[in-house]
Amino acid sequence: MKDTLSKKVLYQKALFSQDLPFEPQYGMMLYVEACANEEINVYFHKNMEKVVNILGKSFTYLPEMLDKLAQIVEYNWPETDSAWIEKAKSDPSWIQDSYREILSYRIDKENEMPELPLQITESPMLMRYEYATDKGHIFTLFPLQYHNDTQFERLLNAITQVPHLDSNIFYSTIIEESPLRTSRLSENQNIDPREKADKERIDILADEIRQRIKEMRLIGVSDFVIKKLITLPDPKLSTLRITKDYRIILPDYNDMEISLPTLSKVVYFFYLRHPKGLRFKELVDHREELLQIYSRISNRDDSAKMKQSIDDLVDSTRNSINEKCSRIRAAFVSKFSDDLAKNYYITGSSGEAKYIPLDRSLVMDEAGIITQVSQ
């Protein structure tokens, strides 16, 4: 009997309001339950990678989103204390509240099919998004039952074979058992920025960050959950603190440190000293100032090599200054969103003066590197 149940897939079309608290995408799969089902939740927690391999990367399971939500908040609101994540983990009642709210947007409950052996509105279920109409959003509902791990895995695999609905017919069908899908999600490659030209490096980094955020947002449901968990203010700029040992700290972003190679840090401090900005071709006129900053913050004793590094930096025929600016930008956008980061890194149109937009009243110069260079 259990083997038969493992192949049987009940499903039903359902109409949800256009005012859903998230933006659905075609094919998304969302797990919901009116009351917590311990067996199914334990299975998901223990086998999430396998479940995603079966159902696809658009599968959304709210408890699994907490760590991703922490990353979203940290990247977009770096000033936010993430203690609320721990609170959410210790008190998961918000999950059931979220499920109930999502289910409350269904507007065709009177069309329940009484002959179905499972009551779809009461059982744990998967909701698969199909399409939008002038009346609302159409989902396919798949009620779930757990007997054992093997049966449940077969059921999930069978659900993926159910064709997308394109009519008003309600369904109950049997899907023949098929092997577990073995496709894997494409894994992010660890790209070493130093192995590529600087423009390629920063473009790759930006693309990776955009993709990471896109995946973390999980087709909009995460925004809905964030609003359920915490009221976030508009992102704000942090002060920038330069410590006595020349570290760059953002105190209002939970003392986040921005790490830079020494020469990139020289360029950064130099541009902080010049709020109105300078064109790259003008750097040659400030060679001694750059060398003084380098001498002060570097632990190197080889003055000849230091001078050569500065000569390369101000040489307009070389790419050294562009490399350093790319590193600076990468250091910030890898920590938080570009909407905030663009205030901190060196920017400016091609051929025009380059500058750091940050209001200098937000700079805390404990080392005196911005106001003076000489020791």
Distances (CA, A) of 144 to 102, 182, 235, 293: 17, 22, 41, 66
Range list for CATH 1.10.10 in the chain: 237-365
Distance (Å, rounded) from C-alpha 297 to C-alpha 264? Answer: 11
Distance (Å, rounded) from C-alpha 66 to C-alpha 88? Answer: 8
Q: Report percent pLDDT > 90 for the chain.
A: 46
Q: What is the tens place of the pLDDT at every residue in 51-68?
A: 999 998 888 888 887 767
Angle at 171 (CA atoms; ends 99, 127), nearest 5 degrees: 20
Q: Specify the higher pLDDT residue, 50 or 373.
A: 50
Indicate whether 120 pLDDT > 80: no
**What kind of architecture, by CATH, is found in domain 237-365?**
Orthogonal Bundle (1.10)
Tokens of 305: 């090599």
User: What's the mean pLDDT in 11-20?
Assistant: 89
Mean pLDDT score of the chain: 80
> If residue 168 lies in a helix (H) or strand (E), which one and from where to where?
none
Q: Report percent pLDDT > 70 for the chain.
A: 75
User: What's the mean pLDDT in 102-119?
Assistant: 66
* Four-point Cα dihedral 135, 160, 41, 43, nearest 10: 180
Q: Tell me, what's the pLDDT at 314?
A: 95
What is the value of pTM for the model shown?
Answer: 0.64
Pair 148, 175: CB distance under 8 Å: no
Indicate whether 194 pLDDT > 70: no
Phi/psi of residue 194, each to 5°? -70, -15
